[in-house]
Structure 1
Amino acid sequence: MSQVTVISPTDVYEFAPAGNSGPRKRRTILWLAAAFWGLHALALWVADLLDGHPHLLRVAVIRIALTLIGLAFCYAIHIVLQKLAGRPWRKKAPIVLFVSLVAAELFAWCSYFALAYAKGAPIHVTIEGSGVIRTLVSWTWFFLAWVGLYLAVQYGYEAREEERRSAHLRSMAQSAKLQALHYQINPHFLFNSFNSVSALILDGRAEDANAMVERLAAFFRVNLATNPDVDISLAEEIALQATYLEIEQVRHPDLEFRVDLPKALEPAAIPAFLLQPLVENAIKHGGSGVPGSGAASITIAAQQDGEVLRVAVTNNCPAHVDDRCISGTRTGLRNVRERLSGRFEMGAKLTTERLGASGFRASLQMPLSFVE
């Protein structure tokens, strides 16, 4: 159980880059404009058909040409809107209205000349005030309607991009929080371990001191290199805690620990070092951590309950130090609860209970999954 597998470090802030939606947005706008103008041309051609127009083929070709001209005007408006992207609407709206008026006027003349040619009618270049106004109003609203559809599509893409950015930032913040929780290494453990090494050296137990330093090095190498976002197997997690307990046994020779891990649950996935605060509390507030309380006994047990993984850390806790056993673990338990909440949200929980007059148990419950 003392064999520790070193886990390769993973960059906490390495996320899949957001996809470039620019080409996809341009294609969507192009198809929208094509559908907008295509339906308009088709509706007018059907009207010509119902009217019994004598030159339906010529009119159809002319309307296709006008559709292409309309698409060109829409693309010009698209470029103008792209140039105005950073401006507020009170400055952008007059420019968009002016460009739409110009496009409406130019398209109206193109439409007039093309359809007059298609019908074989004489061309009269006359300007009537009422006719100009009617033409401008109808085609201006037509182009403004397209602008509205364009902005709706653009807003949809921008909303999705903003949602992706927000999710990215939330993930970064959550990872940073988990990393901070992960690096809350118990300073008392490190201080006491070095004191134990010093004591072993002074007692002439150089081999024991060297063995303890190697265990400390292995433990902290994995601790500092492990990404708390990454799940490891339950067997690896318990092996790490066994190494930690072997280090503590140098200071507490009477410390006893037992592992109850079914073979089928060895590859079960669990966030790295999730059990660490529970084991620290078991030592600190159990028998060895309380003067006059006798030997400490710690048990780590796992079991499967349907699609749920349950892992319990149980330690002896004498009755005359009941308050210290229960209330003294708040920081460690809060750390574990926050990691569970960040990793599984409402799908996991930590419960604690007093076992009669001589024990204390912290139980983890999380969805059962397995490492690949």
Structure 2
Amino acid sequence: MNQVAAFPSTGVYELALASRSGRLERQRRQAILWLTGVFWGLHTLALWTADLLDQHPHLLRATAVRLLLMAVGLALCFGIHVILQELGRRSWRQKAPIVFVASLVAAELFAWCTYFGLVYAKGEPIHVAIEGGVVIRTLVPWTWFFLAWVGLYLAVQYSFEARAEERRSAQLRTMAQSAKLQALHYQINPHFLFNSFNSVSALILDGRAEDANAMVERLASFFRVNLATNPDVDISLAEEIALQATYLEIEQTRYPDLSIRIDLPPALGRAAVPAFILQPLVENAVKHGAGTTSAGDAWIAISARQDEDRLEIMVENSCSPSALRPGVCGTHTGLRNVRDRLSNRFGVDAKLSTKRLPAPCFRATIELPLGYVG
């Protein structure tokens, strides 16, 4: 399949996404470091200015104490930062009490450090006398001080999370567009068109005008439905299999002995599947099955079954014994397209597996979460 230049291959694209996420994370950390440094730097500068205006008798010692207290404040903020990181994406109802207690403890520790530091700076004796009123009047301002820092911290955090979410949305839109372009490629397969028109021409030359007309009508119906269906939306499994049945009826003109078997339980008719998800598998089944098997032995089977809350869809086809060599029976572009679409749509919740059976035949199985349309 021709690659669309605007959309890089899956591996390169994933590396680019990882690089962008890492760069955004580094910017977030730098922003938090700058915020905390400026927060405590301005606080320390303001108090040092007050000491200067008050003509502190031991200004040099007071300056050293202010810088030491700033380091203590930075360490306490780092501790709160670690707690917030551990809480992760818990709800704010769960975070709030823990953050408040952490701020209260930080305020208590910083208040004591401030008291001892300032007493030392003034050269006065230390008197530890705990009074309820004094404790409350001291703790309240410092608690609000640390809570203010937490508020600014969370504002920066949420700002970067919003940017990351915006990037993820843009990336998903790009991936969806890429999948859509690949799906459109399979809707109108030039090789399929070439063979179909050749078959119509052969029917006309053989004097089978009615058969040629019937094939043209099938082609028109097939492409009308294909072009009217958005490959980015889910359709019912019954509709998807009906599309593939129409396609196989067209291919039966080229391979009259091709046997088609469809087993769709009624309960799964409304199961939701990505539009045209089976098309590459069925095309592979025709190319590597009917195209390699002797007359009368070619067959293709499409079946579905439910496994608890999972949907399994199987496309099987006959193969000639020589087609069971590695690398044959459709293991490249078509299967890669299906895997990419499943990954883009469901992530790790869906997968495509293939298996060569000793019949000899080839089986491709799609597993995805079971849901229903409408």
Same fold (TM over 0.5): yes
Letter in 1 for 2:363: R
In structure 2, the partner of 1:272 is 275
Displacement of 1:282 in angstroms is 1.0
CA 1:215–1:324 in structure 2 vs 1: closer, same or farther (change >3 Å)? farther
| 2:185 aligned with 1:184 | yes
DSSP 3-state at the match of 1:218: helix
In structure 1, the partner of 2:337 is 335
- Pick which of 292-301 and 244-253 moved more: 292-301
Please tell me whether the aligned partners of residues 323 and 329 of structure 2 are also in contact (alpha carbons under 8 angstroms).
Answer: no
Unaligned runs of 5+ in 1: 1-88, 109-127
> Which structure's relative contact order is higher, taking Cα pairs within 8 Å and 6+ residues apart?
1
- Counterpart-to-counterpart distance in 2, 1:241 and 1:233: 13
In structure 2, the partner of 1:160 is 161
**Superposed counterparts of 1:1-372, under 5 Å:** 129-130=53-54, 148=149, 151-185=152-186, 186-286=189-289, 288-290=290-292, 292=294, 294-323=296-325, 326=328, 328-372=330-374
Displacement of 1:354 in angstroms is 2.0
Please tell me whether the aligned partners of residues 277 and 332 of structure 1 are also in contact (alpha carbons under 8 angstroms).
Answer: yes
Displacement of 1:165 in angstroms is 0.7
- Pick which of 299-308 and 199-208 moved more: 199-208
Unaligned runs of 5+ in 2: 1-33, 60-65, 67-140
In structure 2, the partner of 1:19 is none
Please tell me whether the aligned partners of residues 342 and 350 of structure 2 are also in contact (alpha carbons under 8 angstroms).
Answer: yes
Q: CA RMSD in A?
A: 3.8
- Counterpart-to-counterpart distance in 1, 2:147 and 2:348: 46
In structure 2, the partner of 1:64 is none
Displacement of 1:294 in angstroms is 4.2
DSSP 3-state at the match of 1:191: helix
CA 1:153–1:316 in structure 2 vs 1: closer, same or farther (change >3 Å)? closer
Displacement of 1:239 in angstroms is 0.3
Please tell me whether the aligned partners of residues 258 and 296 of structure 2 are also in contact (alpha carbons under 8 angstroms).
Answer: no
Displacement of 1:213 in angstroms is 2.3
DSSP 3-state at the match of 2:364: strand
CA 1:357–1:291 in structure 2 vs 1: closer, same or farther (change >3 Å)? closer
- Counterpart-to-counterpart distance in 2, 1:154 and 1:321: 61
Displacement of 1:293 in angstroms is 5.4
- Counterpart-to-counterpart distance in 2, 1:277 and 1:349: 15
Identity percentage over the alignment? Answer: 54
- Counterpart-to-counterpart distance in 1, 2:153 and 2:355: 56
In structure 1, the partner of 2:126 is none
DSSP 3-state at the match of 1:184: helix
Q: Cα deviations across residues 137-168 of structure 1 (Å, max 9, x unaligned)? A: 9xxx9999898566435313422320221121
Displacement of 1:315 in angstroms is 1.2
CA 1:252–1:293 in structure 2 vs 1: closer, same or farther (change >3 Å)? closer
Please tell me whether the aligned partners of residues 337 and 349 of structure 1 are also in contact (alpha carbons under 8 angstroms).
Answer: yes
- Counterpart-to-counterpart distance in 1, 2:331 and 2:285: 9
CA 1:325–1:199 in structure 2 vs 1: closer, same or farther (change >3 Å)? farther
- Counterpart-to-counterpart distance in 2, 1:371 and 1:148: 49
Please tell me whether the aligned partners of residues 317 and 325 of structure 1 are also in contact (alpha carbons under 8 angstroms).
Answer: no
Please tell me whether the aligned partners of residues 203 and 209 of structure 2 are also in contact (alpha carbons under 8 angstroms).
Answer: yes
DSSP 3-state at the match of 2:325: helix
Letter in 1 for 2:162: E
TM-score normalised by the chain length of structure 2: 0.58
Please tell me whether the aligned partners of residues 285 and 324 of structure 1 are also in contact (alpha carbons under 8 angstroms).
Answer: no
DSSP 3-state at the match of 1:183: helix
Please tell me whether the aligned partners of residues 317 and 359 of structure 1 are also in contact (alpha carbons under 8 angstroms).
Answer: yes
Q: Cα deviations across residues 173-198 of structure 1 (Å, max 9, x unaligned)? A: 22023113212323211111121122
What number of residue pairs does the alignment pair up?
257
Displacement of 1:312 in angstroms is 0.9
Q: Cα deviations across residues 276-300 of structure 1 (Å, max 9, x unaligned)? A: 11111111111x3026454421111
Letter in 2 for 1:154: A
TM-score normalised by the chain length of structure 1: 0.59
DSSP 3-state at the match of 2:260: strand
In structure 1, the partner of 2:4 is none
Please tell me whether the aligned partners of residues 300 and 314 of structure 1 are also in contact (alpha carbons under 8 angstroms).
Answer: yes
